[in-house]
Amino acid sequence: MMYNIGMDYTNKDFLERRPQRLCLMCGRCCRMAVASIPHSELLKKTEEGDESSKEFLEIFEPYATIEEALKADEATVKNIPDWENRTFYHCRFIRDDNLCSRYETRYEVCRIFPSSPWAVIPPNCGFRGWMFNEVEAHKRKIRKLKEESVYYNAKLKTNIPNKEKQLYKKLIDKISERVKLYEKYGSQYW
Ligand code: SF4
Ligand code: SF4
């Protein structure tokens, strides 16, 4: 799994709808983790008191080499963008049967994984299909909004009262804000 150090993971709506029964309890997300920042930066941030980095290193220990990580789970490693230049980690608390040895007191970041439809998950993760549908649903919503925006823009070019024009302008602005929210996931291209 990919950890975005320092980011707020909470997406309450997504988490409430996420069907936990889809987890196959395969432990792949615990055995192959990667941070959004290099290991040296993680250490530096931990020294500076950054809680998110400290927590990551409390949970995870780095594989000694990339070869060791590839040997443990090649498909998951190669599923991570720019994997050749990253450090991969394994959890200190996973048991041989793939269950968590501290399940009741596991970290928040573990409880909420995967925390958004765009979370980077292992190739055979049980959530994959469901998350794909979630992402597609977001895309459909954004596309529909964009179509509305085209319609409102066309209305602005017609001879309508100023009050109505103001209303359409407001709606167009709202749609732009919404599209922007998803820009990092590619909403500008949907
Ligand atoms: S603490 Fe438990 S849930 Fe979290 S990564 Fe480790 S084994 Fe997985
Ligand atoms: S990789 Fe997916 S299916 Fe496997 S334990 Fe993690 S969340 Fe569950």
Tell me which residue has its CA closest to atom 8 in ligand 2: 23
Q: Which of 45-49, 71-75, 116-120 has the lowest mean pLDDT?
A: 116-120
Going by pLDDT thresholds of 50, 70 and 90, the confidence category of residue 33 is: very high
Residue 126 Cβ inside 6 Å of ligand 2? The answer reads: yes
Summarize pLDDT for 142-175 with one digit per residue, the tens: 999 999 999 999 999 999 999 999 999 999 999 9
Going by pLDDT thresholds of 50, 70 and 90, the confidence category of residue 7 is: low
Separation of 97 CA from ligand 1 center, angstroms?
A: 13
Considering the chain, what is the average pLDDT of its residues?
92
Positive or negative CA dihedral for 101, 104, 113, 37? Answer: negative
Ligand 1: nearest atom to the Cα of 106:
1
Pocket test of ligand 1: the residue of 34, 73, 94 to mutate, having most ligand atoms within 8 Å of its CB, is: 94
The pLDDT value recorded for residue 30 is 96
The pLDDT value recorded for residue 10 is 62
Instruction: Identify which of 110-114, 118-122, 168-172 has the greatest average pLDDT.
Output: 168-172
Distance CA 93, CA 60 (A): 9
Summarize pLDDT for 84-93 with one digit per residue, the tens: 999 999 999 9
The pTM score is 0.84
Residues 6+ apart with CB under 8 A from 6: 50, 52, 53
Residue 99 Cβ inside 6 Å of ligand 2? The answer reads: no
